[in-house]
Structure 1
Amino acid sequence: MAEQHKPGQKVETSGIYRVVREGDGGSAFEVTCVEGEHFPPTRSGKGAHYELVHAATHSHKHHELGSAG
């Protein structure tokens, strides 16, 4: 089972997250969430959570990109 994150929690890892709404018959969808921000609230209310599908590094944090210094 994937680690679950609740709306309002701080995003620790940037990437693509699946939004799972409990009791909604599997109508999950994917969104991008950014490290340091908070998982947004959902319109469906209670029982929704986020699961990391694919982590991604910001270009300015990648060792192969950005300024050499």
Structure 2
Amino acid sequence: MAGDSSYKPGEIVKVSGIYSVVHDDGKGTFEVTCVEGEHFPPTRSGKGAHFELKYAATHSHKHADLNGGDSK
């Protein structure tokens, strides 16, 4: 069941990463990549689905070890 760590289609993604798309009946769960600042996409089934963060990930252009380094 959806809890505090689940998100509905149309909400803004706050953390980039791999999300599980979970249907209320538990059937047909799969994973997608969602990007911070974008909206969670609509689902084909319409209602009864939510997104759960599985693995958070930082975009390369936002990562401190990769941002603004010298390319010598």
TM-score of the aligned structures, taking structure 2 as reference length: 0.86
Q: Pairwise mapping of residues 40-59 of structure 1 onto structure 2 (< 5 A)?
A: 40-59=41-60
RMSD of the TM alignment (CA)?
1.7
Give the aligned residue type for 2:42: P
State the one-letter code of the partner of 1:35: E
Q: CA offsets per residue over residues 22-64 of structure 1, 9 Å max, x none?
A: 12x4320000000000000000111100000000000011110
Look up the SS of the partner of 2:37 in the other structure: coil
**2:14 is matched with which residue?**
12
Gaps of 5+ in 1: none
Identity percentage over the alignment?
63
In terms of Rg, which structure is larger? 2
Q: TM-score, normalised by structure 1?
A: 0.89
- 1: CA distance, partners of 2:66 / 2:42: 33
CA distance in 2, matches of 1:3, 1:68: 35
- Number of aligned residue pairs: give it: 68
**Where do 5+ consecutive residues of structure 2 fail to align?**
none
- What is the one-letter code of the residue matched to 2:67? G
